[in-house]
Chains A and B, each alone.
Chain A
Amino acid sequence: MTKWLEENTPKLVLAPSFIAVLIFVYGFIAWTAWVSFTRSRLLPRYDIEGLIQYERLFASPRWDTALNNLFVFGILFILIAMVLGLILAILLDQNIRTEGAIRTIYLYPMALSMIVTGTAWKWILNPGLGVEAMVRGWGFESFTFDWLVNPDMAIYTVVIAAIWQSSGFVMALFLAGLRSVDGEIIKAAQVDGIPTWRIYTAIIIPSMAPIFLSAFIVLSHLAIKSFDLVIALTGGGPGYATDLPATYMYAMAFSRGDIGQAASSAMIMMMVVFAIVVPYLYSELRSKDD
């Protein structure tokens, strides 16, 4: 008995966590998937009815807006954050004496809650007293910057705040990548008289492909999960102009009492995440086993 216990201690230690993950991750996903195929409204029902929730979902103009917003927000956010992060990393990689301090400044937003970020930008971007009023106060009376309350433009304020929050982090990733490039190759290229910009575009950046991939994965993951920032910055408004799938799901689950819609929208979110993350994780785990 003690021998058995001794041999199986590692398994017994891991077991509670593993069981918890099985139930609270995989079991719960299964539950949500099941309910997404039922007619559940205020209370869950368990008779499978097929795809009616998904049909309702894709017939809903609000969901349509949410998906469109995710698309616009996701692409702009990922693209600009990556470009900005790369530029910052390259600028910082030029033997800057105050690098530590500057890095700290670029990265601190990452320590803040999205609610804090949203609150700050909501104040800065509010047309009545924020940037618009400030520029008007300088004498440009007709200056208009009302994106926050303009249904067509509000989603871009979410992009601005999200980039402010996350681009420093992308910079940190890229900076680590730049530093890990083989110094000998760079030196050899410098000796050959190759200009610095060529060294970057032809040698350093191509060798950082895996870092681009990680940055892309992290940013797309952040984009799909974006919830707090929208809630704090625009509340999904004006109207539901800045709804994202995450806010749609929350509204259905907790304010509209439409569990079927909440479940089906959550499943769509998960499929989008999986489509991006699974191939990545799979290749990562495989390469580790080799």
Chain B
Amino acid sequence: MTDISMTSAQSQSQTGKIVLRWLLYIALGLFALFYLMPLFVMITTSLKSLDEIRTGDLIALPREVTFDAWRTAWSGACTGIQCEGVRPYFWNSILIAIPAVAISTLLGAMNGYVVAQWRFRGANIIFSLMLFGCFIPFQVVLLPMARTLGIMGIAGTIPGLIFVHVIYGLGFTTLFFRNYYVTIPAELTKAAKVDGAGFFRIFWSIFLPLSLPIIVVTVIWQFTQIWNDFLFGVSFSQAGTQPVTVALNNIVNSTTGVKEYNVDMAAAIIAALPTLFVYVVAGKYFIRGLTAGSVKG
């Protein structure tokens, strides 16, 4: 045992190690402060009155906690001419996100199942072409999409935004399921086929029950993407159908009246709450989606 024969040199290096360890924890703590600071400032600012914001310190705790800003942000703040807060837009985001996530996940599961387990000639090329769609800058489709939505009669509507999110989410959802299903041995499908099970039967009774983890990853990924989307929301919505990110930006940049920083911060937190909540309860899956989305395969 080294403990018994510890020389003074060793004990010195031991204290060195402890000092190093302390420095390590201090460094980690400082970085943690850097990441937490904006959230802290947002929360405290949202709980202060405007007077206190003007006279006080950015990082000071509120002297008097008031929820007025939250009330205004939720149901009274102005996004341009309307003053209904973020509530209707929060609701829009939900109406957009839920169907778009459900449809794109279901289609992705079916596509991934075909590409991974029912390979036919050209399947790989099709998959590559779909995958490629994940990487285009969406600016390149904005103009024709605006016209197409107009022709389809769903410009500026919530179904229009759902449609856009489904289309441009397909590449990623297909990728997620494909990468998950290729790890399932092809013999399983073959054996089921021998037993007389068809395409859909095998999907329903063999693949879908195995898919819970990847469904969670895909749903979280899609939900975060769609909830946080701004580009499609601002391009393809009109007054009344805007998602919450667009409403938040309008509140913050609305030039009428006094600048209410506390209301801005409360509105920002409200807009962030759903994805933050998902991250806190299912962080593991969130990270898996992030890394799967970037380091494919």
Contact = CB atoms under 8 A, between A and B. Distances in A.
Contacts of A6: 198-199
B129 A91 contact: no
Contacts of B290: 110, 169, 172
A249 B140 CA distance: 9
B129 A26 contact: yes
Determine the interface band of chain A, counting residues with CB < 8 A from chain B: 35 or more
Interface in A95-116: 96, 102, 104-116
Which 7 pairs show the lowest CB-CB distances between chains A and B? A113-B228, A10-B118, A111-B279, A228-B230, A266-B139, A28-B141, A25-B133
A122 B227 CA distance: 21
Contact of A273 (B57, B120, B137): B137
Contact of A231 (B59, B137, B249, B287): B249
Secondary structure dominating the interface of A: helix
Interface string B247-277: 0110011000000010011011101100110
B271 A113 contact: yes
B135 A281 contact: yes
B11 to A, nearest CB: 19
A243 to B, nearest CB: 13
A226 to B, nearest CB: 10
Contact of A134 (B45, B57, B143, B267): B57
A133 B140 CA distance: 42
Nearest to B275: A111
A129 B54 contact: yes
A25 B200 CA distance: 28
Interface in B190-209: 198-200
Contacts of B218: none
Nearest to A92: B28
Contact of B291 (A9, A17, A172): A172
B167 interface: yes
Interface residues of B, number: 93
B161 interface: no
Nearest to B269: A116
Nearest to A109: B35
A143 interface: no
B81 interface: no
Given A25-B141, A265-B139, 18 more contacts: A14-B114, A14-B126, A24-B141, A24-B167, A24-B168, A29-B140, A91-B24, A91-B27, A115-B245, A120-B268, A173-B291, A231-B230, A250-B142, A250-B235, A253-B142, A266-B140, A281-B131, A281-B135
A112 B265 contact: no
Given A25-B141, A225-B137, A168 B58 contact: no
B294 interface: yes
Interface stretch (B1-9, B36-44, B62-70, B94-102): B36-44
Interface stretch (A45-53, A60-68, A187-195, A211-219): A211-219
A263 B252 contact: no
Interface stretch (A71-79, A146-154, A199-207, A282-290): A282-290
Nearest to B42: A120
Contact of A115 (B31, B230, B280): B230
Contacts of B57: 134, 137
A212 B198 CA distance: 44
